[in-house]
Structure 1
């Protein structure tokens, strides 16, 4: 497998910058979980990686090679989409859908059918079902087919975009177990996108947190969840009931219920400052949050946290609560 790296990547649609100067590395053979609210730019980043969104600036690199220069042959990055009902052609059997994704000329004749059977077994489906149409399958089964179809392209990297959010709770766990098992067995490099921190914690080696088009914190799963250093990350963790008592003081953040800023007109300075529980709305003297971009100093901070007060949070000098 290969290392996936986003190098200063930006995606713009007219006056909207959906992804803004994102630099993120997915180490070879590892899983990076990407979390953030709806509209934070997670799916746009994923779509840019597979050529479905325009790259305005920066590059997507596989082992240092720009994927835009890889030609029109095998696609080294494959994506599993959120909606299992829209990701498969309803007129094609599942066997035909999987075979269509195979690199041209690699499998011929009976070898093609054997590879389809192998991939169906890999995702825990009976190979005899290759002649079935997608309409005869459940959502969980369709998502398994979508994963098999992605693997049929023999990718170096797989991107999974909210692949359990459209499924019933009763089948989400089974799909996650399958993804984790397949990733481990094949040593896949994977970017796993979700708004659910519990899901990301279960499947990932690293977590990256995205807000208004930018990465605001990244670290190992254990390190970031045990000691989050960006107020937005702590807000996301506070939304998970099982984490509330361990991560925050008894009283909730003062502005946790504020709406995100308009992505067409992101705030100056720190983009999170209009709703930050340790920012100028709560502490008017902290004007640095309004005037200076914290992204400029991330390389010197633990977890590369895009927060001016991350060192103070790390040292315990600042507590996130309605009263300090």
Structure 2
């Protein structure tokens, strides 16, 4: 078990004048042997953070550490990423067995040993060993995602980053894959960063929960605490969307996210905030002053986190 830590990580694309800061000063810890759920809308920077962790996207600032040391991106890679789309993450020209064997450590040189290890990994993710001779096009979406997990595990990682693991799967298959992830985490004692836009999915597997909006973490803490007593209005909106099919009570809450190329000044959520300055005009501080999460419950980046109204009863939706 190893700890993955992001320290003030920034990722910027483009030039200074015409660029996009996709990840803006993110600090987040994935404790050893724990599952941290990272949730937020599309475009919030979640996948960029994941790609930066495995070296696919260069960072502009900050550090990404594994047990206090920079994450190695050459040779054996202790942090492995499972991509969102099982239909494009596997090479259609390679058999399942070849795809899995490709990421194995060089110490497994004998063909028989590699084939035995492929069979073991397939069985570990709930697939029969004979699937090794199949091609991705012969498998269902859920089976492909299991193969993608086996491929990541073949590299003998200490940390897995699962990026929207179930979003491309049918609802009927999602539960089985989530159960598999939780089972693998416990059996192999892995540390996992589980990324999703779906709070209902994240809450099922996570020990800790972080909420991301427009490139920044706006709230994080133990999953049960954040879900039972969310402090940031954005987190509350996400929970309300999960627990109710009713439309938002306010046109402000239903507004589109801000342009990430030109994030609003002050609190980035204020143009959509149902308890912010567009609704409560006396809360002008939100318009031009960034919230300081220091000392706030769940490190909520909100000037008025403690003043949030109680959530409606979610009943059996939890």
TM bucket by the smaller chain? over 0.9
Residue 241 of structure 1 and its aligned partner are, at CA, apart by 2.7
Which deviations, in whole Å up to 9, do the C-alpha atoms of 1:60-93 show, x marking residues without a partner?
Answer: 11001011xx362101110111110101111111
Q: CA deviation at 1:311?
A: 2.6
Q: Distance in 2 between matches of 1:243 and 1:64?
A: 44
Are 2:74 and 1:72 aligned? Answer: yes
What is the RMSD of the two structures over their aligned residues, measured on CA atoms?
1.8
Match of 2:263 among 263, 266, 276: 266
How many residue pairs get aligned? The number is 308
Shift of 1:243: 9.6
Of stretches 80-89 and 250-259 in structure 1, the one that deviates more from structure 2 is 250-259
Report if the CA contact (8 A) 1:254-1:282 is conserved.
no
Do 1:278 and 1:320's aligned partners in 2 also have CA atoms closer than 8 Å?
no
Q: Report the CA distance between 1:107 and its aligned residue.
A: 4.5
**Which stretch has the larger CA shift, 152-161 or 70-79?**
70-79
Name the SS of the counterpart of 2:293 in structure 1: helix
User: Alignment partner of 1:298: what SS?
Assistant: coil
- Do the aligned residues in 1 keep the contact of 2:55 with 2:73 (CA within 8 Å)? no
Question: How big is the shift at 1:109?
Answer: 3.1
CA distance in structure 2 between the partners assigned to 1:236 and 1:16 by the alignment: 25
Quote the residue 2:41 is aligned against. 37
From 86, 101, 105, the equivalent of 1:84 is: 86
SS of aligned partner of 2:294:
helix
Alignment of 1:121-270 (within 5 A): 121-241=123-243, 252-253=249-250, 255-270=252-267
CA apart distance, 1:224: 0.6
Once the two structures are TM-superposed, the CA of residue 49 in structure 1 deviates from its matched residue by 0.5
Contact 2:34 2:192 in 1 (8 A): yes
Give me the whole-angstrom Cα distance separating, in 2, the residues matched to 1:170 and 1:214. 32
Report the equivalent of 1:58. Answer: 62
CA apart distance, 1:285: 1.3
- In 2, are the aligned partners of 1:253 and 1:320 still within 8 Å (CA)? no
Specify every segment of 5 or more residues in structure 2 that has no aligned partner in the other structure, as ranges.
313-318
Gaps of 5+ in 1: 245-249
So what's the TM-score if we normalise by structure 2?
A: 0.93
Superposition deviation, residue 252 in structure 1? 2.6
Instruction: Between 176-185 and 22-31, report the one with greater CA deviation.
Output: 176-185
- Greater helix proportion: 1
Cα separation, partners in 2 of 1:320 and 1:291, compared to 1, 3 Å: farther
Find the partner of 2:117 among 102, 115, 134. 115
Find the residue that maps to 2:303 and give its secondary structure: coil
Match of 2:7 in 1: 7
Q: Check the 8 A contact 1:231/1:320 in 2, yes or no.
A: no
Distance 2:158 2:302 in 1: 34
Change (3 A) 1:319 1:283: farther
User: Deviations 1:168-192 (Å, cap 9, x if unpaired)?
Assistant: 1111111111111111111110000
| Equivalences for residues 285-296 of structure 1 within 5 A | 285-294=282-291
Distance 2:159 2:87 in 1: 23
Q: After the TM superposition, list the runs of 4 or more consecutive aligned residues in structure 1 that deviate by more than 6 angstroms.
A: none
Q: Specify whether residues 186 and 242 from structure 1 end up closer, same or farther in structure 2 by C-alpha distance, changes over 3 A only.
A: farther
Distance 1:27 1:319 in 2: 30
1:275-301: CA deviation from partner (whole Å, max 9, x where unpaired): 11111101111111112111xx21211
Alpha-carbon contact 1:32-1:207 (below 8 Å) kept: yes
